[in-house]
Chain A
Amino acid sequence: MERLNAILVIDDKPEVHQAVALALEPWVARVESAASPQAVPALMASTRYDCALLDMNFTAGERSGREGIDALDAIKAADPALAVILMTAYGAVTLAVESLKRGADDFLLKPWRNEALVAAVCEAARRTGAARAGTSLDAMERSAIAGALERHDGNIARSAAELGLSRPALYRRMAKHGL
């Protein structure tokens, strides 16, 4: 299997960093860590991560998972393509559902088996790669269609002619992009 470039672990416990780094050593070149969500933007600006492992709680005594959900929103806003795996020691179903709705790619229950950790990280990295490749193509197509529609005041026949597409083909693509 191809070795991954870098992943980011966001957890307030250094022991967790240590464990993840050691467990992923054969599969990932660099495991970087952030002790709190506040440190994440700077790291994301300097490194292109293959995936992020995000804890749900960072303050002592806090078990609601609210901090994790907020951090997830922030990461997804900064880089929608980066796959995020949420880690929680508490398998709360409602929390899992909410985080998946908000764009989390996977859920890893603490304590994990190393095999499960490796599998989740590899799958998330694959998704990040696919999203990065896909997003650019999709985004280009979408902006081309939106531009043509705007130039022709929403006239489908003329937009289709400009784009070199048949009208049904344009309709299909508009539906796909929600235009």
Chain B
Amino acid sequence: MGSSAYARLGTVSAVGWRLLFASIAVAFLFRLLTETRHFASASVLAATAALLLVDIVRVALRSREDARISPAIEERARAQQLDQALALLDAVTVALFALGPDGRIRFANRAARALSGEAVRLEDALDRPAAAEVLGLPIGGRRIIALADGRSMLVWVGAVAIPDGGTHRLVSLQSIAGELDAVQVGAWHAMTRVLAHEMMSALTPVASLAESLARMAGGDTRPEVGAAADTIARQSRHLIDFVERYRAIADLPNPTFELLDLVTFFEDMKVLGEAQVRGRGIAFSAACSPAAVPLEADAGLLRQALLNLLRNAGDAAAEAGGGSVHFACAVKNAELCFSVYDDGPGIPPDRIEEIFVPFYTTKEDGAGIGLALSRQIALAHGGRLAAAPNDGRGMTFVLSIPAAQGGC
């Protein structure tokens, strides 16, 4: 880049020199023509022409020399530019894949390599349904897809023409989990508060009047009146209970983060987990692989979230007739992953997302809020909660939250 700037400077000065030289000659000629004989002016013209000719030849020679040197300089400059561009691509947090016409990964930046590992094809880098969704997108397409681990990604597909004629598909994947979830959760909370308040206000007189009516419907009215009032009273109480439970999830207190010691926290959790399975003929084991890792969390909320998972695992294992529950903690990609494993009957893959929906329950006496609440708590910690079927029997729930700053 530097050398080409110098070359340009040289060209400018050469033109300058020529202009200066020509203008002096013209001025001199003008003076001679107005004063003296033609011989002198002719000789000056000839001299000027000769000098210009020499100059032109010299410039021509030099530009041929330039043409010989510049490919090497340009080559070096291009290599430098490429290095800079690659460094830049590695610096962005968006994962970028360039896919050849055959679908093989031709290029992946650092974020993409973190996502794909050593994968050769996108199908191996992402989970299969997600990859199929990405590959199904047209050029210029944008979509939010959910990965199997619960993360949401904004995907964009572009095309780049490459010199040897083919076209590469450029796929960018941007993790939007945190932002999207925070916005959704915030909106959900606000809406739920208003909704719960309005419903409770409206239900207050309904429930009370129905109870009064049921009491008042005495012998002189038809018996159906009392029964009808009873039904209204019962149904409004049912609705009240429902709103109460809904409020319990929506009114999740803002977490108060404190620095906890993971090992101590895990030991406490282990005791609570054992209590869940005690006396049910279930084998319980626990393992915490990281050493003393600092953990920034709301101890009360996180305990509640994990306790829900442990209780569910206990129920699932018991359903299978005395199975086992395993509780573990590991550090992975600067995240603390708490996993709860059971060998119960498991959940069909197409039902997995449903179990996180509030009030969805498969248990006779379940309220259907445990998992929804646990996921809310994970999100409130900037983390996530995902469920996956085990290879053999049962399910594993993984609650992951970012490790504390300077932690791992």
Contact = CB atoms under 8 A, between A and B. Distances in A.
A111 B209 contact: no
B218 interface: no
B197 A90 contact: yes
Interface residues of A, number: 18
Interface string A4-22: 0000000001011011101
Contact of B204 (A22, A25, A63, A111): A111
A113 B240 CA distance: 11
B200 interface: yes
A35 interface: no
A95 to B, nearest CB: 13
B208 A22 contact: yes
A85 interface: no
Contacts of A16: 204-205
B208 A89 contact: no
A23 interface: yes
Contacts of B197: 63, 89-90
A90 B211 CA distance: 22
A22 B240 contact: no
A175 B215 CA distance: 51
A173 to B, nearest CB: 46
B198 to A, nearest CB: 9
Given A23-B212, A111-B240, A114-B212, A89 B200 contact: yes
B207 A111 contact: yes
Contacts of B236: 111
Nearest to A22: B212
B248 to A, nearest CB: 11
B146 interface: no
Given A16-B205, A18-B205, A110 B200 contact: yes
B25 interface: no
Given A63-B197, A89-B197, A15 B205 contact: yes
B201 A89 contact: yes
Contacts of B215: 114
A115 to B, nearest CB: 8
Contact of B211 (A63, A89, A113): A113
B331 interface: no
A13 B208 contact: no
B291 to A, nearest CB: 39
User: Which of A18, A20, A22, A111 lies at the interface centre, i.e. has the most chain B CB atoms within 10 A of its CB?
Assistant: A111
B208 A20 contact: yes
B203 interface: yes
Contacts of B208: 19-20, 22-23, 111-112, 114, 117
A55 B342 CA distance: 49
Contacts of A110: 200-201, 204
Contacts of A23: 208-209, 211-212
Contacts of A22: 208-209, 212-213, 216
Given A89-B197, A111-B240, A18 B209 contact: yes
Interface in A55-89: 63, 89
Contacts of A117: 208
User: Which of B200, B206, B216, B237 lies at the interface centre, i.e. has the most chain A CB atoms within 10 A of its CB?
Assistant: B200
B129 to A, nearest CB: 43
Interface in B195-245: 197, 200-201, 203-209, 211-213, 215-216, 236-237, 240
Nearest to A117: B208
Interface in A146-173: none
A142 B155 CA distance: 79
A19 B201 contact: no
Interface string B376-397: 0000000000000000000000
A31 B319 CA distance: 55
User: Which of B206, B207, B216 lies at the interface centre, i.e. has the most chain A CB atoms within 10 A of its CB?
Assistant: B207
A147 B206 CA distance: 56
Contacts of B207: 111-113
A113 B211 CA distance: 8
Given A13-B205, A16-B205, A19-B205, A111 B211 contact: no
The 10 closest A-B pairs by CB, nearest first: A15-B205, A19-B208, A19-B205, A22-B212, A111-B204, A89-B200, A110-B204, A114-B211, A111-B207, A111-B203
